[in-house]
């Protein structure tokens, strides 16, 4: 099946041929949007423009309820400036907005016609909602999701490799532990545990590439609790506690691997899939 750009999703939760041909179509955002997001731009210009628009419309609505004309005029002026920036920043979306509504907003504010002002605000809001409905998911996936291709991580030999190789190595170590436990090969299980421990520490060191000086994300997933559980795993393996070791490794899989994947991998995979099919 061809993607143009179409994201083909097979639902694993709904098995059967009835779902095998289900598709979800996403509109591709204009290429000009890219320059208003990091890393193409030093700031998240587009994102902050959207935040201001939301704040401006809320302010106008609140002051309309108070019939505060000077305050309404102040915020309408700001709204007009930011709303018109949409077409300036992304010319392809010029037809998506309705700048003609802004002079009407001014008139109704001046007259104190709060009913018609509220209806006009709703029409402006609808242009925002329509655009979000079509593009927000894809834009978030492409421009606000993690991209790991340039991040390098040390393997157990000290050499640098990419994220994909790191994830494969982690999976191999986990399965080596489980296989060795099942076959009662204590020394092999202990070596695999040490490899996993080293790999997870190296992975944790890579968190600063995105989170910079914020240490909380690393601590939550790859912090003291993970280190404590890895030491406990080694102790249980040494004592020959097979079931206890298996259970603890399962806990590490949930609190470390699954937790990290649920936060990072889903959106990252969506991003890569969209970009891949958009380039076809």
Res 39: pLDDT: 87
Do 81 and 41 share a domain, yes or no?
A: yes
- Residue reference for tokens 């000009």: 32
Omega of the bond leading into 33 within 30 degrees of 0 (cis): no
Q: Which of 82, 116, 143 is the last residue of a domain?
A: 143
How many domains is the chain built from?
2
Res 10: pLDDT: 33
Res 25: pLDDT: 72
Res 12: pLDDT: 35
The low-confidence residues of the chain, meaning pLDDT below 70, are 1-24, 277-280
Q: Which of 105, 123, 143 is the last residue of a domain?
A: 143
**Cα 244 from Cα 7, distance rounded (Å):** 42
Q: What is the pLDDT of residues 160-179, one digit of tens each?
A: 999 889 999 999 999 999 99
Res 277: pLDDT: 62
Res 7: pLDDT: 38
Q: Which domain holds residue 194?
A: 153-278
- Specify if 12 maps to a domain: no
Res 146: pLDDT: 78
Q: What CATH number did the domain enclosing 205 receive? A: 1.20.120
- What are the E-state strand segments in 148-259? 153-154, 160-161
Show the tokens assigned to 105: 């907003």
Do 267 and 179 share a domain, yes or no?
A: yes
The conformation of residue 183, written as its DSSP 8-state character, comes to T
Res 28: pLDDT: 87
Show the tokens assigned to 214: 């914020």
* C-alpha Rg value of the chain to the nearest Å: 26
Res 177: pLDDT: 97
Classified as helix, coil or strand, 25 is strand
In what helix (H) or strand (E) does residue 7 lie, and over which residues does it extend? strand 6-7
Res 280: pLDDT: 53
Res 22: pLDDT: 63
């Amino acid at each position: 099946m061809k993607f143009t750009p179409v994201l083909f999703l097979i639902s694993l939760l709904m098995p059967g041929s009835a779902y095998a041909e289900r598709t979800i179509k996403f509109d591709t955002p204009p290429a000009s949007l890219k320059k208003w997001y990091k890393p193409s731009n030093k700031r998240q210009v587009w994102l902050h423009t959207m935040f201001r628009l939301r704040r401006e419309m809320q302010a106008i609505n609140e002051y309309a309820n108070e019939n505060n004309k000077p305050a309404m005029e102040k915020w309408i002026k700001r709204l007009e400036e930011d709303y018109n920036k949409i077409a300036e920043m992304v010319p392809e979306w010029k037809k998506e907005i309705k700048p003609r509504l802004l002079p009407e907003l001014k008139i109704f504010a001046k007259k104190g016609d709060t009913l018609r002002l509220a209806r006009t605000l709703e029409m402006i809001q609808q242009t925002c909602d329509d655009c979000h409905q079509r593009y927000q998911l894809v834009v978030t996936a492409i421009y606000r999701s993690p991209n790991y291709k340039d991040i390098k991580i040390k393997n157990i030999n000290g050499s640098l490799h990419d994220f994909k190789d790191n994830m494969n190595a982690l999976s191999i170590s986990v399965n080596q532990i489980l296989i060795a436990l099942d076959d009662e090969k204590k020394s092999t299980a202990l070596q695999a545990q040490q490899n996993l421990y080293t790999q997870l520490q190296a992975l944790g060191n890579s968190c600063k590439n995105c989170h910079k000086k914020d240490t909380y994300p690393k601590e939550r997933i790859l912090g003291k609790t993970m280190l404590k559980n890895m030491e406990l795993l080694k102790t249980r393996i040494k004592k020959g506690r097979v079931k206890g070791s298996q259970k603890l490794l399962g806990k590490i899989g949930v609190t470390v691997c699954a937790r990290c994947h649920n936060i990072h991998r889903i959106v990252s995979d969506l991003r890569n899939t969209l970009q891949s099919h958009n380039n076809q």
